[in-house]
Amino acid sequence: MPSRPLGRSFTTSFSMNLRYLWSGKQLLMGGGLIPLLFSAAVSAQSPGALAQSRFDPNATIITPPVQLAQRSATEDRRQFNELLRQGKAYVDNGNFPQAIAIYQQAASLDGENAELFGSMGYLYARQGQFAEATQSFQQALRVNPNNPEYYDGLGFSYARQGRLSEAASAYATAISLGPNAPASVKYRLALGVIMLQQGDYGRVRQMYNEIHRLQSDNEEAAVMMGAALLQSNEYEQLITFNSQALKLFPNRPELNLQLGKAYLAQGNLVAARRILEPRLNPDWRSFSLYLTWAELLEQEGNFAGALDAYKQALRNEPTAIAAKIGTGRMYLELDNPAEAIWVFRDLTRLQPSNADFYYLLGEAYAVDEKIDLAKKSFGEAQKLYQAQGNTAGSDRTQEKLDNL
């Protein structure tokens, strides 16, 4: 079987899945709001691992012998084996594009070799060519529809393309092929992460319960469950759940961070500070920790401290919109509208169809007594709110315009 690590699934680690699966969205699974990219890493370990058996992009590829379909032509068999040898050499040297080209030639000689197609899917995924990986895993499944690893690879590839419903279906099938097998834990973690992205928190809870039955000490499942409770605003349940989970997994910062965010959402600033402050470390590049800490300081009225924390969050994640907004807001609180204008103007360039950013820019201009520019920004915000059917936003903006 050319080019895939034996005994490993096609998914990556939980954290990597989370980081790459849902890019664009933010999910509190790892040390911060992890852009949910699927984590094919959806290994089950939070920023770290769907873990133990996942599509590992750094794994060493081992090429075992491939079972050839019966052929009458000895020359075809000889040529096929030579192509496998060449492909393996390219894989070993890290030349995946050439390896794929060689394996495609081999597939023309044996189009019924599932391992060959699965290996090509793996290599395509390693290169970020997820559409091609999807096709290869589908070809592997055409030949061998009962191999859960191919569904694993297919689910990962779908997820990385944002095709979450299809990814969920692939992982559900992988689970059904061995619902009590140890490998099914990683598939349930992957499916759970997809359900988080889709807001199906009941299904996440189901995946957590099934994983707990099979593997009661799976900390990635605990992080996943905490994320579901946080996103569904079930703060009391989260506090109870994470407090118990931390007794089992005291070194998982995600669980503490989720707990701190729950206390913050409840307005319990003392408890939130008790959880978050001991974990502050300028050398620890946790965007989510510093974003949450900034929100805490802002609620406490410590705007200068909040500004520093938002800036630290931006140093860790320079493109983070939430931290940019917080920075601009703190400049306004600190009576520095010129800096706030710079921040909000930059946000309108990044997302020109976002009415809220024009509204914030209008507020900054108004504080800076640049009335004409404020009217222009509020006017743009109102136009966008109306186009989006946001009556409340439009009315709020009109009130600002009336008061200028």
What's the number of CA atoms in the CB half-sphere (13 Å) around residue 47? 20
Span 212-232, average pLDDT: 96
pLDDT band at 59 (very low <50, low <70, confident <90, very high): very low
**Greater confidence, 25 or 244?**
244
**Helical (H) or strand (E) element with 28:** strand 26-28
Residues 386-399 pLDDT 10s: 999 999 999 999 99
**Is the pLDDT at 316 greater than 80, yes or no?**
yes
Residue 104, Cβ neighbours under 10 Å: how many? 14
Residue with the larger pLDDT of the pair 172 and 80: 172
- pLDDT, mean of residues 154-175: 96
**What per-residue confidence (pLDDT) applies to 12?**
34
pLDDT tens column, 265-275: 999 999 999 99
Averaged pLDDT, 28-49: 29
pLDDT at residue 111 tops 80: yes
* 377 vs 391: CA distance, rounded Å: 17
The more confident residue out of 118 and 21 is 118
Q: How many Cβ atoms are within 10 Å of 162's Cβ, its own excluded?
A: 16
Across the chain, mean pLDDT equals 83
Q: How far apart are CA 49 and CA 16, in angstroms?
A: 7
> Can you tell me the distance from the alpha carbon of 244 to that of 252, in angstroms, rounded to the nearest whole number?
12
- Asked if pLDDT for residue 27 goes beyond 60, the answer is no
Min mean pLDDT across 49-58, 162-171, 331-340, 359-368 is at 49-58
Percent of the chain whose predicted confidence (pLDDT) is above 90? 75
Residue 99 CA to its chain's centroid (Å)? 29
Residue 344 has pLDDT above 60, yes or no: yes
Q: Is the pLDDT of residue 5 over 70?
A: no
Beta-ladder partners of 49: 45
| Average pLDDT of span 370-383 | 96
Mean pLDDT, to the nearest integer, of 100-116? 92
The answer on pLDDT for 219 being more than 80 is yes
Q: Quote the DSSP letter at residue 61.
A: P
- Alpha-carbon distance of 404 to 394, in angstroms, equals 16
Residue 48 reports pLDDT greater than 70: no
- pTM, two decimal places: 0.77
